[in-house]
Structures are given as C-alpha cells and as structure tokens.
Amino acid sequence: MESKIDSLDKQSLYFYGQVSDDYGLSKLQLVYYSSGDEAKKSYVPISISGSNFSEFVSAFPNQLDIVDGVAYDLFFEVYDNDAVNANKRTKSRVFTYRKRTVEEEEDKQLREQSETIENLSKSLDQFDKQEKELEAISKNQKEKPELSFNDKKKFEHFLKRQKQQEQMMQNFNKKLQDNLEDFQKEEDQEDPFKKDLKQRLEENEKQLKEDEKLLEELEKLKEKINKEAFSEKLDQLAKTAKSQKRSLEQMLELTKRYYVSKKLEKIGNELDKLAKEQDKLANAAVDENTLQEQEVLNKKFNELRERVGGPRKGKQWA
C-alpha cells in the first residue's frame, strides 16, 4: 500500500495498492468507521481481477457521506479464492482521516492569507533597494558613452534579482487570488468589497506580466548595446516600479482590511452561537452535565477573546 494526501486541498487521501495470492483473489474492499466505534463499520467494494495478482487505486472520502470534524479509521482488506478454507483474508495497516469543518477550513484560509500578506509586506521592503539600484544604473548609463564590463555585470545581477522579485510577486498574487476565491464561496458572491479586491488582484496580475515583458526587452537591448533605446527602457522600468509599488501597497492594505473584517465577522457569529448555547444552559436544571457544558463554553469564550486580542483572565460566563 502507498498513500498520499491531496497536494491542493489537503482534504483527500489517495491510495495505490497491490494484492496477490497463490489461490487467486475473490474480493477487495475498503472498510471505514468512526474512530473508537469499530462496531459500526461501512464497506466499499473495489473492483479487482480474479487472477493471482491485481493493482488498484482508491480515494477517501471521495463521494462517501462522512461527517465533517469526525475522525475516521480506514483500511483495505482482501480475500483469497480458496473457498475450501472459507476465503482467508488479510488487511492493510489502518489509516486515519478527519475532514475539517467549514469553520476550521475558514480558519485555515485566514491563517494562510495572513501569512501571505505578512510575506508580501516584507517583500515590499525589497522594492526600495531595487529602486535605488535602478536609479544608480540609469544615472551611470546616461553619464558614460558606453557601459564597461563591470557595468554590464552589475546590470545582469540587477536583472536577475528583478526577475526573481517579479516571480515572487506573481506567486503572492496567485495565492491571494486562490484564497480569495475559496474563502466563503457561498456567502460572499455578492460582497462588493470582495469583488473590488478580486478586480485589483486581476489588474495587478496583468501589470506583473507586462513588467516581465519589459525585463525581457531590457535584456535583449543590453546585448545589442543600443544606448538610446536602453536608456528609454530603463526610465520606463523606473516609472513602472514606482507605480507598481504604490499599487501593491494599496492592494495590500485593501486585502488586510477585507480579511480583518471577515475574521471579526466570523468571531461575531461564533459569539452569537455561544450566547444561544449559554441561554439554553441558563434555563436548564443544574446538574453535573450542565456544569461540564458550562466549562466547555467558558473555554470557547476565552479562546475567542484571545483571538481578538482580549485578556484571557476576567469574568467568566455565569
């Protein structure tokens, strides 16, 4: 057996297996059940040949009706074709699986988006460094009748770093777009804030592709040593860099505002849910179970306060 997790959604397991027996094979099936509740097993038949050897691929949960947030154990078992001895069986090792709930998935997306925004903020610092180096190259190029060997090498290093920066910005932009597309798909279709942010990301993607093309033109001109055209492209790159930095700063701020508002909205919804549960407990007879449920609510409440930066200590819910 070999198993791999989906590299994109991290929510699906893929399996590749080989089965063999001297008597031939009669049946192969996937067996799964809620962790700790092995008595309630479910079975999914898997097609195999009846020969001595067969290969198969499978996925979990695929189209199976499982409960989000519940942990499952699963394994594969195969039966030989020895009917005289009641079809002996053997099974694979046990795998574990748990699908995130909608709330957990949104939390994950918010964390990923926060990390992307933080990395993007750090990368903007490199813009200033590259901008100063570009100014020096442009000034040097205008003052000299022709570029020396060292001047060309400096420009080659600059182009290399600029291309790396462009690629990094494209990756960041794609991550922001993908996460925005996935985040709260149903609820946010008509959200004007989200629509505006999506448009800005698309515009930024287009600009990054144009910048990439400009860098390719500069590299070609560098080889031809066309001083006038080279100088013109350097000036164009400098203007583009300033404009791009302003655009990215604005887009970054807009992205931060969007996700902060969504995080607060999510926490507000969770607080409303906790308040309703609290009301039910307040009207229930006090017993040991009620007290335990109250402790759980208090813990959830403190966790929410911590997420919004509030102090952990303080008055507990009654």
pLDDT in tens, 47-67: 998 889 999 999 999 999 999
Statement to judge: residues 49 and 160 lie in one domain: no
Statement to judge: residues 190 and 134 lie in one domain: yes
Statement to judge: residues 199 and 292 lie in one domain: no
Task: Tell me how many domains the chain contains.
Answer: 3
Distance CA 274, CA 307 (A): 15
The two tokens of residue 118 are: 């933080």
pLDDT of residue 227: 62
pLDDT of residue 184: 56
3-state secondary structure at position 40: coil
Statement to judge: residues 54 and 181 lie in one domain: no
Q: Which residues contact 307 (CB under 8 A, 6 or more apart)?
A: 263, 267
pLDDT of residue 316: 38
Tell whether 275 is covered by a domain.
no
Statement to judge: residues 117 and 259 lie in one domain: yes
* Residue with tokens 């992205």, as numbered in its chain: 255
Tell whether 279 is covered by a domain.
no
Which helix H or strand E contains 87, and what residues bound it? none
Strand partners, 19: 54
Range of the domain at 301: 284-318
Question: Angle, nearest 10°, between helix axes 227-282 and 102-143?
Answer: 160
Statement to judge: residues 234 and 147 lie in one domain: yes
pLDDT of residue 313: 40
pLDDT of residue 135: 79
- Looking up residue 10, the CATH number of its domain turns out to be 2.60.40.10
pLDDT of residue 189: 53
Tell whether 289 is covered by a domain.
yes
Statement to judge: residues 21 and 150 lie in one domain: no
- Long-range Cβ pairs for the range 162-169 (8 Å, 24+): 162/130, 162/215, 163/212, 163/215, 165/123, 165/126, 165/127, 165/130, 166/208, 166/211, 166/212, 166/215, 168/123, 169/123, 169/208, 169/248
pLDDT of residue 187: 53
The two tokens of residue 280 are: 């039910």
* Residue with tokens 């397991």, as numbered in its chain: 13
Q: What is the separation of C-alpha 202 from the centre of its chain, rounded to a whole number of angstroms?
A: 19
All residue ranges of the chain with pLDDT < 70 are 8-9, 146-149, 182-194, 221-230, 284-291, 303-318
By CB atoms closer than 10 A (0-12, 13-18, 19+), residue 306 is exposed
CA geometry: angle 79, 36, 94, nearest 5 deg: 40
Statement to judge: residues 206 and 139 lie in one domain: yes
Tell whether 57 is covered by a domain.
yes
